[in-house]
Each structure stands twice: as C-alpha cells, then as structure tokens.
C-alpha cells in the first residue's frame, strides 16, 4: 500500500529548477531512500513532502489524498528530522521532547512517559537534564530523532541522518532506524553515503540535479552491474599517461582510474588477467595487487550517474541562486 505518492513534483527558486518533475511513491512499512550528491534536491523534496516548502508544480498524495487539503491530519502522521537541528539550545533534552509532544497536542502525562521511554531507548537518560547546547553532535542527532517520533508517527522523514556524525554515533543511529522500521514505522531517508543507502534501504531512488535517474529495490539496482566483470589493480605508479595506449590494446574494456594508484577495469565478459599484468609490467608499472571486484551498489551508482563517490559531497547547484542561509520559500 502506498503511503506517499509524489506526482511530477517540481520546485523552482527564482527561475532555477531545483526539483524537476519527480515521480515516486513510498510503500507503507518500507525504508525508502534518496541517494544523491549535495545539491541534488533531496532536502527540497523532503520540505515539499512535509509541508515546509511550497510546491511549485505537481502534487503529493498522502494515503491517496492530496495532502495540502488535510495538512493537520498529515502532520499527525508525519515525523520530521531535518538535516539541522530544530530543537531549543537552552532547554534540556527531556524538556525538548516534552515540548515537541505538547506541540502535537499530547497530554502531559502521556508526553512525559513517552519522553522517558525514548530517552531510555536512545541511551540518553544520563544527559536528559542537561541543556541541549551541551550535547555532542551525535547526541543532538539522536535527540532530534526521538523528538521526531514523540507522537508515534506512521512515517518518519530523516534528512541525512548520519551526515557529520562520528562513526560510533552513526552506527547507533542506523541501528535505531532499523529498530523503528521493525516496529512498523515507514522510513524515508536521504543520504549521500552509498554504503548507508545499500545497508539501510529496501528501495532507493538515485537523484541527480533535481531528477530521479533510477529507482528500484536494492536487488533490482544491483542487477545492472551483476554481469560486469571488474578487476581492480593496485599499481606502483601513475597510469594516467597510458590510457590511450590501453584503449588501443584492449578495445571493449572500460577503465576507471580511482584514488591513489588504483585502476578498475570493466570488461563485457570474463577476461584473462595475464595480458593485463604484462601490459602494465612492460611499461614499468609494477602490479602490487589484482582483485576481482564483486559489484556493489557503488559500481551501479557510478555506472548510472557518472558521479564518483568521492565527489558526492561537493556537487552543487548554482551558488549565486541560493537564497539566505536556511531560508526556505
């Protein structure tokens, strides 16, 4: 059953199209993710789905109904954890949770009981009385998630839940997301970490420059690379000057220079390694390692979008078009 459907969803900012006619849906009970580089339009889409930004064109249906006609009902069904915290620095963790509960109209006893349960579940009991401003980044993100589910929403929106968080907290947060999902909450998350998307999401959409370029279950997406034959070489020198010669000698093979002195070779069929090793050695490039690569979502993502994983953070739209920091219209 579809909980959310977006049809031809579009957002322009002063003539700049940030989201360009996207169509997708979220099924009840699943973890659905948007994977894309910085500036792709992920936050803008979340803001339109949750009523924080005006929709330029297209529409969002919540349980089959145009949600702009039932915003109150929509808000009760949705929990939102923005990429930057929206909690009060001077209130304690527990006060923040209770305050959010009050905003959702929960009565005092209920919101306090729920806050205490969440503080326990999120391992924040010790910090419960401390002001939010004294929390570490990871603790802040955990409390923001607790605040987003205080009213037990049907669907939780998580915008880059682990970005800028150190590994220990990121792991805790991923575990909390999986737990919530097991208890029946529908999860929509955005990320620019390929591995995180692969690990957490059941279904994914790749989003680049305001458009969905591919969508499917992780298994479906993986099929696009399963037939690829990939070998990754670690070489004792720089390959870049030899690309032309390589292409001439091995037509049909695609080569991808990675970081350091690694190159990946993609071939349409299983291929013998020895001629490749000889090619490198004859050109005084010692081969330190040759590894058969089992295709991961990373290979699929690179193949479809042409974006290298290390570029995920610095892709951007036109800077000059960006409005004042944090302003959403």
Contact set with ligand ADP (CB under 6 A): 13, 18, 36, 38-44, 317, 321-323, 327-329
Binding residues for Mg ion, rule CB under 5 A, total 2
CB of 83 to Mg ion, least distance (A): 5
Q: Answer with the entry of Mg ion, ligand ADP, none that 41 interacts with (C-beta below 5 to 8 A by kind).
A: ligand ADP
Cα 149 to Cα 44: distance, rounded to the nearest angstrom: 21
Cα 112 to Cα 95: distance, rounded to the nearest angstrom: 9
Residue 43 interacts with Mg ion (CB under 5 A)? yes
CB of 82 to ligand ADP, least distance (A): 11
CB of 279 to ligand ADP, least distance (A): 41
Other CB atoms within a 10 A radius of the CB of residue 135 amount to: 22
Closer by beta carbon to Mg ion, 22 or else 106: 22
Q: Answer with the entry of ligand ADP, Mg ion, none that 8 interacts with (C-beta below 5 to 8 A by kind).
A: none
- Residue 66 pairs in a beta bridge with 61
Nearest of 301, 62, 135 to residue 146 by alpha carbon: 135
Closer by beta carbon to ligand ADP, 270 or else 326: 326
Residue 162 interacts with Mg ion (CB under 5 A)? no
- Beta strand segments in 28-185, E: 31-35, 57-62, 65-66, 78-81, 155-159
Closer by beta carbon to ligand ADP, 8 or else 329: 329
Cα 50 to Cα 27: distance, rounded to the nearest angstrom: 16
Closer by beta carbon to ligand ADP, 42 or else 266: 42
CB of 39 to ligand ADP, least distance (A): 4
Other CB atoms within a 10 A radius of the CB of residue 148 amount to: 21
For 142, counting Cβ atoms within 10 Å of its Cβ (0-12 exposed, 13-18 middle, 19+ buried), the class is buried
Residues that bind Mg ion (CB under 5 A): 42-43
């Amino acid at each position: 059953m579809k909980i959310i459907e977006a049809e031809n969803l579009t957002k322009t900012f002063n003539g700049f199209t940030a989201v360009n006619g996207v169509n997708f849906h979220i099924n009840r009970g699943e973890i659905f993710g948007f994977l894309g580089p910085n500036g792709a339009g992920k936050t803008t889409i979340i803001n339109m789905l949750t009523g924080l930004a005006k929709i330029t064109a297209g529409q969002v249906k919540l349980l089959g109904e145009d949600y702009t006609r039932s915003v109150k009902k929509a808000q009760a069904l949705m929990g939102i954890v923005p990429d930057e915290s929206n909690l009060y620095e001077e209130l304690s963790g527990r006060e923040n949770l209770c305050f959010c509960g009050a905003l959702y109209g929960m009565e005092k006893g209920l919101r306090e009981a729920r806050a205490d349960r969440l503080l326990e579940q999120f391992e924040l009991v010790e910090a419960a009385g401390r002001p939010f401003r004294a929390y570490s980044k990871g603790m802040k993100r955990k409390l923001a998630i607790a605040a987003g589910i205080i009213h037990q929403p049907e669907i939780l929106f998580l915008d880059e839940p682990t970005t800028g968080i150190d590994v220990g907290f990121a792991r805790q947060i991923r575990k909390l997301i999986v737990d919530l999902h097991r208890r029946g909450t529908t999860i929509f998350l955005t990320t620019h970490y390929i591995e995180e998307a692969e690990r957490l999401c059941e279904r994914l959409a790749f989003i680049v420059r305001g458009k969905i370029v591919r969508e499917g279950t992780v298994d479906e997406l993986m099929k696009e690379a399963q037939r690829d034959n990939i070998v990754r070489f670690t070489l004792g020198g720089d390959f870049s000057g030899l690309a032309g010669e390589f292409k001439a000698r091995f037509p049909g093979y695609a080569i991808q220079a990675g970081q350091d002195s690694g190159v990946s070779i993609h071939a349409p069929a299983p291929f013998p390694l020895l001629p490749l090793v000889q090619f490198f050695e004859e050109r005084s490039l010692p081969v330190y390692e040759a590894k058969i690569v089992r295709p991961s979502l990373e290979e699929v993502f690179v193949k479809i979008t042409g974006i290298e994983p290390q570029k995920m953070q610095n892709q951007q739209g036109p800077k000059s078009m960006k409005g004042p920091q944090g302003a959403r219209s």
